[in-house]
Structure 1
Amino acid sequence: MGNSQDGSWTTHRVWVYGDDVNTDVIFPGRYTYTVSAANEVAAHALEDLDTSFAAQVQPGDVIVAGRNWGNGSSREQAVTALKYAGVAAVIAESFARIYYRNCINQGLLPVVCPGLAARLHTGDTIQIDRAAGRLLAAGQEYTISRLSPSVQAILDAGGLVPMLQRRFKGESVS
């Protein structure tokens, strides 16, 4: 375990949260119309749940959560706040449907992995091999779903809007 044939494992520090974390906790609604710059949006990520998150998150960190991550409103800032803060992926037991789609549209990797949050603590590390659909955490290997080529193309482009902008400019988009 730990070595893929093509060496595509990536290592990430995790932030662990529980069930039913809603969009208003991920990005407080009171800032929806008062902040817009990426650094300002990122500065308020998870502030009502974990006051240390925005100051201590590092590029490439991953959120690992329980069930129903991102329930609540459809506001995209609940995704962009995490993306702007440098979060590489949100791995949850399950996602609210609209939040999952917003992750893809905004270029933030959503991964479903039941039972993972119960095995980890904030600060632990995990390894992910997206191409092979594998995740290593706490000495155990998990199978994760591979993304469809169309969803992977959106994520690779950084989100739906950047992908479409490239396509309309005539640039190659996978």
Structure 2
Amino acid sequence: MAPRATVSPSSPSPTTYHGPCYVLGDNIDTDQIIPAEHLTLVPSKPDEYRKLGSFALCGLPSTTYPVPFIHPGADVTRFPIVIAGANFGCGSSREHAPVALGAAGVRAVVAEYYARIFFRNSVATGEIYPLESEETGIWKECDTGDIVTVNLAENLLVNNTTGKEYRLKPIGDAGPVIEAGGIFAYARKTGMIASASTA
């Protein structure tokens, strides 16, 4: 299973993610993240959620990305952090895209910027942190398998393999929504809608 968050002792909130990264270029679309043929899987069903994760990024061309994101026969990836270029999540709207990444064990994606609907679906589902870099070309300075650390509290990406550090844009108000597990979980947590125990 993919490495989980390091939890700060003073807070129950995850603030740091650490592990090998998977590097992608510009314009990774939702068909590459999760091809349409897998959209019949229902994420609310645990078995189908795991199956959805096993297909994450299976639409990538193997000639460009020879390292498999998920090894054959595995349900989860060994890469908890994805580093990408510009316009990540472009293409057709499908909330299955961030869900597939989350089900595969991805905790954060660091990209130059996102297609708006992908960013919104990431926040709404609470599956991954869609983080934006303050500078361009980070994906050109990192290699798949580099050990990296994402520090949410400090808005920092550290490539421990190369020793380089990169500033990230603050996630802002989206952070608590993702941390809560998505928009509905956040609404229940904050009392905007009744929780199951009080309804």
TM range (shorter): 0.7 to 0.9
Question: Does residue 93 of structure 1 match 2:104?
Answer: no
* CA distance in structure 1 between the aligned counterparts of 2:68 and 2:166, rounded to whole angstroms: 29
Which residue of 9, 21, 25 corresponds with 2:28?
A: 21
Equivalent residues of 2:28, 2:87 under 8 A apart: yes
CA drift of 1:84 comes to 0.7
Please report the RMSD computed on the Cα atoms of aligned residues, expressed in angstroms: 2.1
Instruction: Output aligned runs, 1:22-171, within 5 Å.
Output: 22-33=29-40, 35-36=41-42, 37-49=48-60, 52-55=68-71, 57-58=77-78, 61-107=80-126, 108-113=128-133, 114-137=136-159, 138-148=162-172, 150-166=173-189, 167=191, 168-169=193-194
Structure showing the higher helix proportion among its residues: 1
* Letter aligned with residue 52 of structure 1: P
TM-score by length of 2: 0.74
* Letter aligned with residue 131 of structure 2: V
* CA distance in structure 1 between the aligned counterparts of 2:108 and 2:176, rounded to whole angstroms: 16
* CA distance in structure 2 between the aligned counterparts of 1:32 and 1:67, rounded to whole angstroms: 25
**1:71-104, Cα deviation, whole Å (9 max, x unpaired):** 0111100110000111011111221111111111
In 2 relative to 1, CA 23–9 (structure 1 residues): closer, same or farther, beyond 3 Å?
closer
Unaligned runs of 5+ in 1: 1-5
List, as ranges, runs of 4+ consecutive aligned residues in structure 1 with deviation greater than 3 Å: none
The number of residues matched between the two structures is 162
Of all paired residues, the percent bearing the same amino acid is: 30
* CA distance in structure 1 between the aligned counterparts of 2:195 and 2:52, rounded to whole angstroms: 31
